[in-house]
Chain A
């Protein structure tokens, strides 16, 4: 069997994964005032990572992205829980969210909400769960072949 050459897939992947990560960041930050948010942003990020996995294979991706996605799930859940506990510190009920306006250097007057931190927890949990599901299924087959 002749060796396949994935040069078109790989070259487009470098470009499209970059656009995808930018789009996921946009969706994540737009979630407050427009459609989007942590869930769909996380799904888009994992779509970009899955695309890179499809183009480059598991072995190279473990070198490029040496992250165990199982560790991202508790980190996300911890961030979400801590933002809830943060409300308790100011004598407010659990999961109280607040916002304020700040003068940022580049962006100018910006509304910063603590709901963004909660969304960050959702984002990390979604990325971790999606990548764990997909990579567990992908790895399962490889181990069977090795036996």
Chain B
């Protein structure tokens, strides 16, 4: 029984580390897009996706550290990401983020 538990623990740790490496690689590729993206919407989409990868990283690190304290952080990053992306999109399309009178 002990050995089975040990094996599952190491399995979870190893798979979490592999997933972290994969997510980190995707963040690097997205950084390439965010820096060299020819237009501003390209950069906005790249930053949005980097944020989603950060959510994944927070979740994976919570698995690695065996804690539940990061669960709020995942939700928080998602919410702030959504608001930031909406603000960026509004700025790119209309030039103002908070309009005086919509219609």
Contacts and interface: CB of A to CB of B under 8 A. Distances in A.
Interface of A: 3-4, 6, 9, 16, 20, 23, 27, 30, 34-36, 40, 44, 47, 50-51, 53-54, 56-60, 134-135, 138-139, 141-142
Contacts of B76: 40, 44
Contacts of B90: 54
Contact of A16 (B72, B82, B97): B82
Nearest to B70: A35
Contacts of A36: 72
Nearest to A138: B98
Given A4-B93, A23-B79, A50-B83, A57 B101 contact: yes
B6 interface: no
B75 interface: yes
Interface residues of B, number: 22
Contacts of B99: 57-58
6 contacts: A44-B76, A44-B79, A47-B80, A50-B98, A58-B101, A59-B100
B103 interface: yes
Best-buried of B73, B79, B96 by chain A (most CB within 10 Å):
B79
Interface of A, secondary structure class, is: helix
Contacts of B72: 27, 30, 34-36
Given A9-B86, A27-B72, A141-B96, A56 B102 contact: yes
A80 to B, nearest CB: 24
A137 to B, nearest CB: 9
Contact of B103 (A3, A27, A53): A3
Given A4-B93, A34-B69, A51 B86 contact: yes
A134 B83 contact: no
Nearest to B80: A47
A10 to B, nearest CB: 9
A139 B97 CA distance: 11
A142 B94 contact: no
Contacts of A59: 100-102
A58 B98 CA distance: 7
B82 A57 contact: no
B75 A23 contact: yes
